[in-house]
Amino acid sequence: MPKVTQQYLDARREQILNAARRCFLRDGFHATSMQDLFAESGLSSGAVYRYFAGKDEMVLAIAEENMRDVLATMHAVAIREPGRSVGAAMADALEIIRAKSAGGGFGGLAVLVWAEALRNPSLARRLDDLLAQMRADLAEVVREHQNAGGLPQDVTADAVATTLICILPGYILQLAVIGASAVEAVPDAVRALWPSSAAG
C-alpha cells in the first residue's frame, strides 16, 4: 500500500473543511447533517470520519482557522514590529477580516460560531483561549505605547486591549449582515483614533 503524504492528508482535511463552510453558511450548523457534509465534500463517511469525529470538531477547526491570521497579525506587531501604532495593528486585523470574508464567508461563519459557542462549552473555552492570546499580544503593543507616552497610563494595558478587541465583533457583524461597504472606512478611522506615539 503506498504511503500517504502529509500534503495529501492536509489537502483532504481542507477539502472537508471547505465543504463544511459551504454547508454551514448555506444551512446553519444544526440543519446540516453529516450526510450533507459527505455529499458536499465528495468523500465517503470513512474518509471524513478519519479527520473529524463529528460536526463539533469541524466547527472548532473552522473557528481556529478563522482566528489564525488575526492572531498572527497581533503577534507580529507585538513581537516583531516594535514602535507600530495600536491603531495600525487593529486596522491590519480588520483588513485581514474583510479580505477573508470576501473570499470565503469569514464574517458569516464567525457569527455562526459565536452562536454555537452559547450552547457548546468546549467551543466557548477554545474561543476564550484564542481571545486571551490576542488580548495578550495587543496588550504588549498598548504597554509599549503607554511607556512612550502615546496612550494614557491610568488604565491597565489589559483593559485597553480588551476594549480594542471589543471593536472586532461589531465590525464582523456589520460585515456579515450589511456588507463590506458598511465598514469600509473603519480601518482608517481606527488608525486615526490611535496613531503612533510619535504622532501623538
CA torsion, ordered 175, 181, 183, 189, to nearest 10 deg: 160
**CA–CA dist 110, 66 (Å, integer):** 8
Q: Give the separation between CA 142 and CA 79, rounded to whole angstroms.
A: 12
Query: Residue 99: CB partners within 8 Å, gap ≥ 6?
Result: none
pLDDT at 159 over 50: yes
Report how far apart the first and last C-alpha atoms of the chain are (Å, whole number).
65
Average pLDDT over residues 129-152: 85
Quick: pLDDT tens for 52-100: 999 989 988 988 888 887 777 777 776 777 677 888 888 988 988 888 8
Cell output for 57: 470538531
* pTM (2 d.p.): 0.80
- Residue 149 φ then ψ, to 5°: 85, 5
Cα of 45 vs its chain's centroid, Å: 28
pLDDT value of position 200: 41
